């Protein structure tokens, strides 16, 4: 080996350990314990500084250091009293950071109200926390829930539900700009009675106006934004798949997020008690009265067919068949251009 090669080898040998260390904490998760505290966990090759912030975009300098040089990969937050807590995990040696927050909002009367932040994109970026929320219906929220949601700083809400659902189960969230598209639930009930496949194959066309609303608001930076249907799993699940695809999140991650609804739904909070008189005058109220009286329906069911096919795949197959791709669907139905996708990824990933 000549002198030049020996020198290069020495430099590479010196840099290799540094490169090995140059990775932010991975696998970060924040989950609520039975006692109501937030447990944060992660994996890292070395010690990690844990910082706590009340705003999703806070820099490390704006956050509070709550656990310096933490080496056991876990931290139990006893001082996370804000409506929403965001943790910055900083490698104590390299300074690289990872953000994490609780995915499901701990609402007493909520169902499936969660943040879609934190997911890794194909390019290695991550969806920003605290910017886009998905949810089930909100007619049963408590005053404490409303205070927590007020703390999210929502700039807009898009209701994916039908005209009838919005009448029989009005949202309790006030003071936030709110938009919806009027349509009848009856054709959807007809599809549900036929098959879940028929229901999902109808979503791309049925929800195109709402998708256009959501992307218009995201592009005009009307965020944080929340959207919901009644269960927060079907119409909301398809909508979230479109949003996450537009942000560059891989399909496997999108499927995993979709199936979290089985864990996070609370059907008893999605619809108020419907009086006999209301059920007599509203076929949609009668439908919900029957289905919510069924103990099987009141327990969230896995979102798969008997042969293991994810319901979401039917909607995405319809998109591929008729528009070629989610990007083609967004271009045709919502006017979202390739340049818009670049803007969206710049605004909502980091």
DSSP string spanning 230-260? SSSSSHHHHHHHHHHHHTT--HHHHHHHHHT
Q: Indicate if the pLDDT at residue 14 is higher than 50.
A: no
Q: Which strands, in side-by-side order, build the sheet including 38-43?
A: 26-32, 38-43, 74-77
Report the C-alpha gap between 136 and 270 in whole angstroms: 6
Q: What are the pLDDT digits (tens) for 93-147?
A: 999 999 999 999 999 999 999 999 999 999 999 999 999 999 999 999 999 999 9
With bands split at pLDDT 50, 70 and 90, how would you rate the model's confidence at 23? confident
- What is the end-to-end Cα distance of the chain in Å, rounded? 44
Q: Which residue has the higher pLDDT, 82 or 341?
A: 341
Under DSSP, is residue 311 helix (H, G, I), strand (E, B) or coil? helix
Q: Indicate if the pLDDT at residue 48 is higher than 90.
A: yes
Intrachain domains 3-100 and 114-348 with the same fold:
no
Measured in whole angstroms, how far is the alpha carbon of residue 128 from the centre of its chain?
Answer: 10
Interval 186-200 mean pLDDT:
84
Domain 3-100 superfamily per CATH: Immunoglobulins (2.60.40.10)
Question: pLDDT value at position 156?
Answer: 96
Question: pLDDT value at position 295?
Answer: 80
Q: Which residues fall within 8 angstroms of residue 252, CB to CB, at 6 or more apart?
A: none
Look at the pTM and tell me if it is higher than 0.85.
yes
Q: Which residue has the higher pLDDT, 83 or 186?
A: 186
Task: Kindly tell me the burial class for residue 327, based on how many C-beta atoms sit within 10 Å of its own C-beta (0-12, 13-18, 19 or more).
Answer: middle
The residue extents of the domains of the chain are: 3-100, 114-348
Residue with token string 């009307």: 222
Total residue count of the chain as it appears in this document: 350
Q: Indicate if the pLDDT at residue 17 is higher than 60.
A: no
Angle at 207 between CA 262 and CA 337, to 5 degrees: 110
Report the C-alpha gap between 169 and 270 in whole angstroms: 8
- Percent of the chain that is helix, strand, coil (3-state, to 5): 40, 20, 40
Task: For residue 26, list its beta bridge partners.
Answer: 43
Whole-number Cα distances in Å, 332 to 105, 181, 318: 34, 19, 14
CATH hierarchy code of domain 114-348: 3.90.190.10
Report the C-alpha gap between 261 and 142 in whole angstroms: 21
* 73 within 8 A of 41, measured Cβ to Cβ: yes
* 240 within 8 A of 257, measured Cβ to Cβ: yes
Question: pLDDT value at position 202?
Answer: 95
């Amino acid at each position: 080996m000549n002198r030049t090669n020996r020198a290069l080898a020495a430099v590479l040998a010196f840099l290799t350990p540094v490169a090995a260390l140059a990775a932010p904490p991975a696998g970060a998760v924040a989950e609520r314990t039975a006692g109501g505290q937030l447990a944060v966990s992660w994996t890292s090759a070395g010690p990690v500084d844990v910082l706590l912030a009340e705003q999703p975009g806070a820099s490390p300098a704006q956050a509070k250091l709550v656990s310096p040089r933490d080496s056991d990969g876990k931290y139990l937050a006893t001082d996370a009293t804000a409506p929403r807590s965001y943790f910055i995990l900083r490698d104590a040696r390299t300074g690289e950071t990872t953000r994490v927050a609780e995915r499901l909002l701990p609402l007493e009367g909520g169902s499936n109200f969660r943040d879609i932040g934190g997911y890794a994109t194909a390019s290695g970026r991550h969806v920003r926390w605290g910017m886009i929320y998905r949810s089930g219906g909100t007619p049963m929220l408590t005053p404490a829930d409303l205070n927590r949601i007020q703390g999210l700083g929502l700039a807009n809400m898009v209701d994916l539900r039908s005209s009838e659902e919005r009448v029989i189960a009005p949202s309790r969230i006030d003071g936030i700009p709110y938009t919806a598209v009027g349509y009848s639930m009856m054709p959807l009930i007809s599809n549900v009675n036929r098959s879940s496949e028929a229901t999902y194959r109808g979503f791309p066309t049925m929800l195109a106006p709402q998708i256009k609303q959501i992307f218009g608001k995201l592009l005009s930076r009307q965020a944080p934004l929340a959207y919901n249907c009644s269960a927060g799993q079907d119409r909301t699940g398809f909508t979230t798949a479109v949003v996450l695809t537009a942000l560059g999140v891989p399909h496997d991650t999108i499927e995993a997020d979709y199936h979290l609804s089985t864990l996070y739904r609370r059907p008893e909070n999605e619809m108020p008690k419907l009086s006999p008189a209301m059920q007599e005058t509203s076929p949609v109220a009668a439908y919900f009265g029957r289905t919510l009286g069924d103990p099987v329906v009141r327990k969230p069911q896995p979102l798969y067919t008997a042969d293991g096919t994810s319901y979401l795949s039917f909607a995405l197959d319809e998109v591929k068949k008729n528009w070629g791709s989610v990007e083609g669907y967004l271009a045709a139905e919502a006017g979202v251009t390739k340049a818009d996708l670049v803007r969206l990824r710049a605004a909502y990933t980091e």
